[in-house]
Amino acid sequence: GNSVTQMEGPVTLSEEAFLTINCTYTATGYPSLFWYVQYPGEGLQLLLKATKADDKGSNKGFEATYRKETTSFHLEKGSVQVSDSAVYFCALRHNAGNNRKLIWGLGTSLAVNP
């Protein structure tokens, strides 16, 4: 079945460090891929998405490229800020079936120290 695997956290970085959070998926066909972010005490919000192979999603300095050959959607940011401290969730959504359920990773907690 469909699944999403994220690197385990917590990830702790210093401000301005480079960030990579790995995400790989298992799915048939061509799902849409998403990164959601959850700031402390808040609900999830979409960070970026990609809908087909080789697409690059980007937002707020974060990027992720849909790699069909490696079934990956790794999240990267060149220089993190304290305000990026949050939990990051990778997710996929298949375009087959009536409910098109989002399949979630377990989340990766990021703490950025000044």
Partner 1 sequence: EAGVAQSPRYKIIEKRQSVAFWCNPISGHATLYWYQQILGQGPKLLIQFQNNGVVDDSQLPKDRFSAERLKGVDSTLKIQPAKLEDSAVYLCASSPLGRVESPLHFGNGTRLTVT
Binding site residues, partner 1, CB under 8 A: 31-32, 34, 41-46, 49, 51, 89, 93-95, 98-102, 104-107
Per DSSP, the three-state class of 83 is helix
Q: How far is the CB of 31 from partner 1 (least distance, A)?
A: 8
Rg over alpha carbons for the chain, rounded to the nearest Å, is 14
Query: What minimum distance in Å lies between the beta carbon of 52 and partner 1?
Result: 9
Residue among 64, 68, 66 at smallest CA distance from 88: 64
Query: CA dihedral defined by 106, 108, 109, 112, rounded to 10 degrees?
Result: -170
Considering beta carbons, is residue 17 or 111 the nearer one to partner 1?
111
Classify 3 as helix, strand or coil: strand
Of residues 24 and 51, the one with the C-beta less far from partner 1: 51
Using the minimum distance from each CB to partner 1, give the nearer residue, 31 or 80. 31
Minimum distance, C-beta of residue 79 to partner 1, in the bound complex (Å): 25
**Smallest separation, CB 3 to partner 1 (Å):** 12
Q: By C-beta, is 70 or 98 nearer to partner 1?
A: 98
CA nearest to 102, candidates 64, 41, 56, 46: 46
